[in-house]
């Protein structure tokens, strides 16, 4: 059992392979967070608590004359608002009488074998063979019958601890939830950096690292989706921690809507990190007898830098968050027509593209936007999910049959959550789109958002999708979402419940995705939101891969995929080779480099084969063979960031090493060349130090490659890439 309750000390200790997480219900029933860090033998870490009195730090009534005892300075496991802890809180409510002070006290616990689930929400699950246990600690408000159940999933061998919260209203009054964070970590000592991943459309998940300073630092989204702008994954890192050393704590939030992560550095140099649903526009009514589940946060502690943390996340995301037939299967090499044709295509053109794709060794042809309703640009048609047979010149069934006949699978794009005003659906049901009565709606890419909090809306869209999916042999679906949400107002909910709409929307999204997964278990679903605008662990529970970015430029992708790699494995990152000059940047890169970069993702193409040369076609054939050859190693090996694309180095390198050290593939892109270039070496990782490795007929000692490095070749063309395959002798 990975969870131990020591009754005498009232101490909960949660053990994973490398970490220990500890909390204690003290004499007043306050649940104190005493430790999260490197695994040790049993120890009551409350010896670290400081019995020092601080002015203006009040004490709970029960503490009597113990003025040092203050919730403001003691580390809290789940701090509540309004009762003496002035740092950022985890829970804030408003009672029927308007009071918000909430005082939570220990009221019991339960330890169960296996990992808990959350109804309607994604959650890390234990696979057969995983050791997993659940702890539920119950807290109760001193003034009302509001119960807060803290859930902990301890996945020992995965080194992951999950947290979620169930708030239960057993009182006779209506209570509003104003803020329900999924996790809170209090650190009594230490100097930390906050690592976050920021960006924008076509430039997502850029690495940012700043010192945690006095005050509150935060990232989050209020766009209705996790967003391009900040990712719901953050790291709190000991200052000085790097890839290979130093302590760090990752928190991945399994949620695809509004989120907030806050780091609060207080008057006595303590640091608190909270993460959960963004409280802006969250106002959730709990009637007597009702309960609310927060989404889940998955935490990983590493005492050996980012690399160890990343490896734990990669395994957990791949095996314990992604689900279904494809989670560990090689995904078909695809060709998507989007950048090849945009909206301008005919059935004949598609068939010609597919035929050339098949000839190059592509395995799946994906028909992107523009095949349905009236949709020759992005101004119309969304919501009308019926096939434009005039444009295709045939039925979808016939098109897919012909494509299948070429030996290719067939896939299709949808944007189920959105609606164009110029559509039949909008004419019929204008109230199905989010809009505030009396106000003109905000448009995003000319479109509005359907109210997925409403079951009838979801059912309609689901039925329309199923009709299309059943009309042809469709083995892949791209689920897109191309705007941010505002004008949040549901025509079906009373005023008192409008603050629930955004969360109900996300639950609605998950509901329809779950239904599709159940009904089409053999269909691969790729998530997308204008590229990587909803690249989060919540979506990955339903879609095992997500289109990483609408920026397909190989050089820009280095930064995007680097940032993405901190939490998410290559099997989740949609990456394609596109045409040059690149459509987003105008940059020209060798096609080999584009393939090297896309290979560290799900791998595919997004171009018009008619517009490339015979030599390039030949090269593509070789690339696909190469990808298949290295697939196992790339997808299932350990991923190492050997350099950062933000460094001054002229090369950016990363590596996939077999977990047993038997082989490694090092990919390098020369992203900056200059005359008379200096020699650079790159140090490898994950090899067996005493073993010898062969590469291009030469032999190298593992230790030498790791500790002295491997010299980089001189590039002969701009942005040249190299792949070095080292095999143990």
Cβ within 8 Å of residue 252, ≥6 positions away: 232, 233, 297, 298, 299, 300, 313, 317, 536, 537, 567
Q: Which is nearer to ligand GLA, 106 or 568 (CB)?
A: 568
* Residue 669 bridge partners (DSSP): 652, 721
Say whether residue 531 binds ligand GLA (CB under 6 A). yes
3-state secondary structure (DSSP) of residue 42 = coil
Q: Which is nearer to ligand GLA, 90 or 333 (CB)?
A: 333
**What's the start-to-end Cα distance of the chain, in Å?**
41
Q: Which is nearer to ligand GLA, 265 or 534 (CB)?
A: 534
Nearest of 291, 23, 297, 279 to residue 168 by alpha carbon:
291
Give the CB-side neighbour count of residue 725, counting CA atoms within 13 A.
10
Say whether residue 482 binds ligand GLA (CB under 6 A). yes
Say how far apart CA 175 and CA 173 lie, in whole Å: 6
Nearest of 417, 478, 481 to residue 452 by alpha carbon:
417
Task: Specify whether the CB–CB gap between 631 and 332 falls below 8 A.
Answer: no
- Measured from the Cβ of residue 519, the count of other Cβ atoms closer than 10 Å reads 13
| Gyration radius (Cα) of the chain, Å | 27
For the bound state, the minimum distance from the C-beta of residue 161 to ligand GLA, rounded and expressed in Å, comes to 34
- State the virtual CA torsion across 223, 228, 233, 236 in degrees, nearest 10: -100
Say how far apart CA 83 and CA 97 lie, in whole Å: 16
9 is catalytic: no
Q: Which is nearer to ligand GLA, 531 or 604 (CB)?
A: 531
Q: Which is nearer to ligand GLA, 371 or 566 (CB)?
A: 371
Say whether residue 338 binds ligand GLA (CB under 6 A). yes
Say whether residue 538 binds ligand GLA (CB under 6 A). no
Say whether residue 619 binds ligand GLA (CB under 6 A). no
| Residue tagged 């095992």 (tokens) | 544
Give, in order, the Cα–Cα distances in Å from 117 to each of 125, 278, 289, 514, 681. 8, 22, 21, 14, 47
One of 480, 526, 553, 655 touching ligand GLA (CB under 6 A): 480
Say how far apart CA 383 and CA 625 lie, in whole Å: 39
Say whether residue 654 binds ligand GLA (CB under 6 A). no
Say how far apart CA 125 and CA 638 lie, in whole Å: 21
Q: Which is nearer to ligand GLA, 583 or 683 (CB)?
A: 583
- Given 415, 556, 616, 655, the catalytic residue: 616
Say how far apart CA 301 and CA 311 lie, in whole Å: 11
Phi, psi angle pair for 134, to nearest 5°: -125, 135
Nearest of 197, 178, 183, 148 to residue 276 by alpha carbon:
183
Q: Which of residues 380-419 bind ligand GLA (CB under 6 A)?
A: 413
Query: Interacting stretch for ligand GLA, rule CB under 6 A, among 53-61, 224-232, 257-265, 527-535?
Result: 527-535
Instruction: For residue 172, give the DSSP letter.
Output: S
Say whether residue 202 binds ligand GLA (CB under 6 A). no
Say whether residue 535 binds ligand GLA (CB under 6 A). no
Q: Which is nearer to ligand GLA, 53 or 377 (CB)?
A: 377
| Residue tagged 């101490």 (tokens) | 11
Query: Interacting stretch for ligand GLA, rule CB under 6 A, among 262-270, 298-306, 525-533, 620-628?
Result: 525-533
Say whether residue 602 binds ligand GLA (CB under 6 A). no
Q: Which is nearer to ligand GLA, 179 or 375 (CB)?
A: 375
| Residue tagged 């000319």 (tokens) | 446
Say whether residue 530 binds ligand GLA (CB under 6 A). yes
One of 550, 556, 655, 663 touching ligand GLA (CB under 6 A): 550
Say whether residue 363 binds ligand GLA (CB under 6 A). no
- Given 266, 536, 553, 606, the catalytic residue: 536
Q: Is the peptide bond before 581 cis (omega within 30 degrees of 0)?
A: yes
The H or E element that residue 400 is part of is helix 396-405
Say whether residue 528 binds ligand GLA (CB under 6 A). yes
For the bound state, the minimum distance from the C-beta of residue 544 to ligand GLA, rounded and expressed in Å, comes to 17
| Residue tagged 């549901």 (tokens) | 490
> What is the pattern of x (binds ligand GLA, CB under 6 A) and - over residues 86-115?
------------------------------
Q: Which is nearer to ligand GLA, 377 or 463 (CB)?
A: 377
Q: Which is nearer to ligand GLA, 413 or 426 (CB)?
A: 413
Say whether residue 547 binds ligand GLA (CB under 6 A). yes
Say whether residue 368 binds ligand GLA (CB under 6 A). yes
> What is the pattern of x (binds ligand GLA, CB under 6 A) and - over residues 293-332?
----------------------------------------
Say whether residue 77 binds ligand GLA (CB under 6 A). no
Give the CB-side neighbour count of residue 350, counting CA atoms within 13 A.
33
Say whether residue 259 binds ligand GLA (CB under 6 A). no
Residue nearest to ligand GLA (CB): 369
Say whether residue 556 binds ligand GLA (CB under 6 A). no
Task: Specify whether the CB–CB gap between 408 and 358 falls below 8 A.
Answer: yes
For the bound state, the minimum distance from the C-beta of residue 595 to ligand GLA, rounded and expressed in Å, comes to 19
103 is catalytic: no
Count of residues that interact with ligand GLA, criterion CB under 6 A: 11
Task: Specify whether the CB–CB gap between 323 and 517 falls below 8 A.
Answer: yes
Q: Which of residues 123-162 bind ligand GLA (CB under 6 A)?
A: none
Residues making contact with ligand GLA (CB under 6 A): 338, 368-369, 413, 480, 482, 528, 530-531, 547, 550
What are the residue numbers of the active site? 536, 616
């Amino acid at each position: 059992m990975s969870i131990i309750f020591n009754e005498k000390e009232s101490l909960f200790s949660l053990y994973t392979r490398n970490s220990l997480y500890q909390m204690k219900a003290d004499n007043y029933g306050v649940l104190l967070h005493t430790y999260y860090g490197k695994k040790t033998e049993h120890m009551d870490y409350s010896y670290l608590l400081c019995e020092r009195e601080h002015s203006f730090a009040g004490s709970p009534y029960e503490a009597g004359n113990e003025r040092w005892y203050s919730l403001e300075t003691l580390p809290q496991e789940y701090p509540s608002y309004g009762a003496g802890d002035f740092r950022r809180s985890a829970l804030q409510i408003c009672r029927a009488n308007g009071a918000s002070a909430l005082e939570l006290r220990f009221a019991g616990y339960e330890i169960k074998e296996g990992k808990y689930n959350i109804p309607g929400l994604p959650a890390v699950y234990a696979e057969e063979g995983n050791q997993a246990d659940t702890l539920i600690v119950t807290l109760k408000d001193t003034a009302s019958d509001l119960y807060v159940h803290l859930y902990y999933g301890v996945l020992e061998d995965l080194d992951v601890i999950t947290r979620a919260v169930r708030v239960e209203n057993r009182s006779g009054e209506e209570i509003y939830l104003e803020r329900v964070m999924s996790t809170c970590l209090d650190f009594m000592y230490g100097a930390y950096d906050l690592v976050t991943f920021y960006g924008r459309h076509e430039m997502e998940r850029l690495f940012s690292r700043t010192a945690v300073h006095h005050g509150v630092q935060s990232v989050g989204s209020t766009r209705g989706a996790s967003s391009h702008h900040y990712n719901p994954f953050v790291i709190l890192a000991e200052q000085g921690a790097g890839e290979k050393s130093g302590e760090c704590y990752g928190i991945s939030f399994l949620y695809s809507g509004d989120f907030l992560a806050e780091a609060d550095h207080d008057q006595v140099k303590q640091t608190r990190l909270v993460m959960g649903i963004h409280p802006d526009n969250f106002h959730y009514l709990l009637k007597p007898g009702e309960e609310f589940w927060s989404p889940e946060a998955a935490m990983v502690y590493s005492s050996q830098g980012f690399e160890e943390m990343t490896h734990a996340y990669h395994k957990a995301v791949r095996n314990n968050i992604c689900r279904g037939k494809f989670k560990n299967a090689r995904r078909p090499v695809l060709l998507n027509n989007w950048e090849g044709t945009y909206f301008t295509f005919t059935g004949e053109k598609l068939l010609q593209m597919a035929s050339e794709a098949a000839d190059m060794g592509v395995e799946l042809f994906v028909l992107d936007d523009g095949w349905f309703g009236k949709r020759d640009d992005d101004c119309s048609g969304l919501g009308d999910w019926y096939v434009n047979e005039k444009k295709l010149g045939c039925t979808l069934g016939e098109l897919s049959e012909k494509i299948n006949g070429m030996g290719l699978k067939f896939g299709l794009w949808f944007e189920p959550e959105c609606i164009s005003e110029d559509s039949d659906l909008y004419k019929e049901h204008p109230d199905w789109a989010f809009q505030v009565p009396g106000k003109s709606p905000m448009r995003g890419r000319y479109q509005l958002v359907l109210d997925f909090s409403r079951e009838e809306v979801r059912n309609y869209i689901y039925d329309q999708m199923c009709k299309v999916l059943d009309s042809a042999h469709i083995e892949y679906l791209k689920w897109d979402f191309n705007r941010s949400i505002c004008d949040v107002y549901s025509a079906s909910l009373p005023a008192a419940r409008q603050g629930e709409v955004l969360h109900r929307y996300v639950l609605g999204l998950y509901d329809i995705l779950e239904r599709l997964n159940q009904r089409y278990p053999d269909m691969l679903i790729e998530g997308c939101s204008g590229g990587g605008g909803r690249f989060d662990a919540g979506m990955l529970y339903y879609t095992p891969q997500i289109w990483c970015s609408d920026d397909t430029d190989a050089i820009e992708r280095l930064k995007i995929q680097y940032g993405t790699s901190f939490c998410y494995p290559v099997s989740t990152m949609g990456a394609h080779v596109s045409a040059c000059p690149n459509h987003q940047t105008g940059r020209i890169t060798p096609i080999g480099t584009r393939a090297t970069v896309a290979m560290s993702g799900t791998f595919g193409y997004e171009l018009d084969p008619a517009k490339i040369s015979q030599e390039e076609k030949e090269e593509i054939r070789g690339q696909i063979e190469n990808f298949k050859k290295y697939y196992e190693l790339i997808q299932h090996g350990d991923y190492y960031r050997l350099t950062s694309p933000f460094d001054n180095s002229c090369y950016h390198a990363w590596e996939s090493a077999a977990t047993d050290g038997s082989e490694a593939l090092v990919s390098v892109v020369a992203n900056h060349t200059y005359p008379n270039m200096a020699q650079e070496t790159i140090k490898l990782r994950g090899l067996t130090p005493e073993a010898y490795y062969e590469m291009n007929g030469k032999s190298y000692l593992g230790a030498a490659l790791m500790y002295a490095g491997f010299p980089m070749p001189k590039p002969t063309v701009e942005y040249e890439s190299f792949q070095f395959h080292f095999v143990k002798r």
